[in-house]
Amino acid sequence: MLPLLRGLSPLQVAAIARRAERVSYTPGAVIIEENGIAEAAILIIAGTAARVSGPELAARSEPVEPGSLLGEAAMLIETTYGSTVVARSPVRAVHITRDALHEQMLEDPDLADRLVQNLAKRLTAFADELRRVDALLAGAAATTPRAALQAPAG
């Protein structure tokens, strides 16, 4: 199950699924575009897609597997997509729109509480990971000779 939806009842998950919009993408179609207004999270159900970098869609890419949730923050808050994802084969997906999820949370306050708890856990884990990386970087900087840390003149 998706981390954000852990702990939801089967009825709550079914209600989200009922409100989700089913969408199909043809090969080469842009599923999400970097910096585009994000109004929905997109769950890839089937097919192959790739997260691409740079202005060219054929640029270096990272596979996006079925079961991936793209732009999950978009179903909760106003935001933009952080990357571009392109369909490499026919892709079936569902869009979980912010409006539909907000409506459902108003009808089911327990759903809102669970989503907040799940988000808080994930943000705490992310903050812990950032602290770990910061400590590793600080340790590496402490063991690197001072001259190596200075930018070359030029």
Overall number of domains in the chain: 1
Q: Is residue 152 part of a domain?
A: no
Task: For residue 59, give its domain range.
Answer: 3-140
pTM reported for the whole predicted model: 0.74
pLDDT greater than 60 at residue 147: no
Each residue of 33-50: pLDDT tens digit? Answer: 999 999 999 999 999 999
Neighbour-count burial for 78-115, b at 16+ CB within 10 Å, e otherwise: eeebeebbbbbeebebbbbbbebbeebbeebeebbebb
Q: Is residue 97 part of a domain?
A: yes
Q: Per-residue confidence at 1, pLDDT binned at 50, 70, 90?
A: low
Each residue of 84-123: pLDDT tens digit? Answer: 999 999 999 999 999 999 999 999 999 989 988 888 888 8
